[in-house]
């Protein structure tokens, strides 16, 4: 029901702006849940908090490494 990482990543395209929810804030960046089983990493932003809804720009999708790079 939730779809695999690959299936969910196929629903997104680099260069588009989408919404997500901040899952966690780490020293090296902010993890944003885009949908179940799919999260991306954005640059650090001290004004954000966990659980906050955000708009993010999909900068790059690297399927072979299962990574999505985002901009807040």
Q: Is the pLDDT of residue 63 over 70?
A: yes
Q: pTM of this prediction?
A: 0.91
Q: Is the pLDDT of residue 11 over 90?
A: yes
Cβ contact 38:4 at 8 Å: no
Spatial distance between the Cα atoms of 43 and 12, rounded to a whole number of angstroms: 19
| Encoded tokens for 55 | 């708009």
Spatial distance between the Cα atoms of 19 and 42, rounded to a whole number of angstroms: 13
Spatial distance between the Cα atoms of 71 and 16, rounded to a whole number of angstroms: 11
């Amino acid at each position: 029901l939730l779809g695999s990482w690959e299936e969910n990543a196929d629903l997104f395209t680099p260069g588009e702006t989408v919404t997500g929810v901040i899952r966690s804030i780490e020293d090296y960046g902010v993890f944003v849940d885009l949908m179940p089983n799919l999260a991306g990493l954005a640059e650090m932003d001290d004004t954000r908090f966990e659980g906050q809804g955000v708009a993010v720009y999909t900068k790059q999708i690297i399927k072979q490494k299962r990574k999505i790079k985002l901009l807040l």
